[in-house]
């Protein structure tokens, strides 16, 4: 009697606790489809300076789902890192690698500067000052016809090696890439 009633109680409790937990945790394991979005014609961008474009990260929440990226044509004189070989355009995410505030490209200083806690990045998005733990994230780019398209985001370490998109504040150098593992919901292209 005791055993069977306790078993029945456990089954009854599990019957509502487990679905509820799965319901709450489920979105963590859901992979989001990769989006490609046209941001402008090819002649809109130069290979010496950045042009800001607005793209949609999440189409379901209106204005809050949009973000800004800085786009520039690939320039073999600047983009000498082997990982960028064959990339038609360089698209830098404005999401600061410290805590996710929006950075701004300051032309006079030739730096990306974050208003929140003073993160500073150079032309390639590499950290040159402040609290950020890795360079600015980037977007995959491709050219279709006459248009530049931006794809999914990816993160880079200080050698500009590519990783699946991480959240801000998570370093990728050394042991960092193992301490902050890739998530099932956000995969590299």
Q: Please answer whether residues 99 and 118 qualify as being in contact, where contact means their C-beta atoms are separated by less than 8 angstroms.
A: no
Dist. CA 181–CA 172, nearest whole Å: 9
Nearer to other proteins, 72 or 138 (CB): 138
- Comparing CB distances to other proteins, the nearer of 22 and 88 is 22
Rounded Cα distance between 34 and 21, Å, is 27
Residues 6+ apart with CB under 8 A from 28: 183, 184, 185
Measured CA to CA, the distance from residue 188 to residue 184 in angstroms comes to 10
Least distance CB 9 / other proteins (angstroms): 21
Min dist CB 36 to other proteins, Å, is: 16
CA dist., res. 157 & res. 160, Å (int): 5
Q: How far is the CB of 4 from other proteins (least distance, A)?
A: 30
Q: Which is nearer to other proteins, 64 or 108 (CB)?
A: 64
Q: How far is the CB of 95 from other proteins (least distance, A)?
A: 8
- Cβ distance to other proteins smaller for residue 43 or 178: 178
Where on the chain is the footprint of other proteins (CB under 8 A)? Answer: 24-25, 27-28, 30, 32, 57-58, 60-65, 99-101, 116, 165-170, 179-183, 185-186
How many helices (H) and strands (E) are present in the chain, helices listed first? 2, 11
């Amino acid at each position: 009697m005791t055993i069977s009633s306790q078993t029945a109680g456990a089954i009854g409790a599990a019957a509502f606790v487990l679905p509820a937990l799965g319901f709450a945790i489920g979105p963590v394991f859901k992979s989001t489809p990769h989006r490609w979005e046209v941001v402008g014609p090819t002649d809109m961008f130069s290979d010496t300076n950045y042009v800001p474009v607005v793209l949609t990260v999440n189409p379901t929440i209106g204005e809050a789902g949009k973000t800004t990226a800085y786009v520039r044509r690939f320039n073999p004189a600047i983009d000498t890192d082997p990982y960028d070989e064959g990339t038609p355009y360089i698209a830098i995410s404005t999401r600061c690698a410290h805590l996710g505030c929006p950075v701004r490209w300051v032309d006079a200083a030739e730096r990306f500067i974050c208003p929140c806690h003073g993160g500073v990045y150079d032309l390639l998005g590499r950290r040159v000052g402040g609290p950020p733990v890795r360079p600015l994230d980037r977007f995959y780019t491709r050219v279709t016809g006459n248009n530049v398209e931006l794809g999914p985001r990816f993160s880079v370490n200080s050698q500009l090696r590519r990783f699946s998109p991480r959240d801000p504040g998570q370093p990728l150098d050394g042991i960092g890439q193992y301490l902050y593992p890739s998530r099932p919901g956000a995969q590299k292209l």
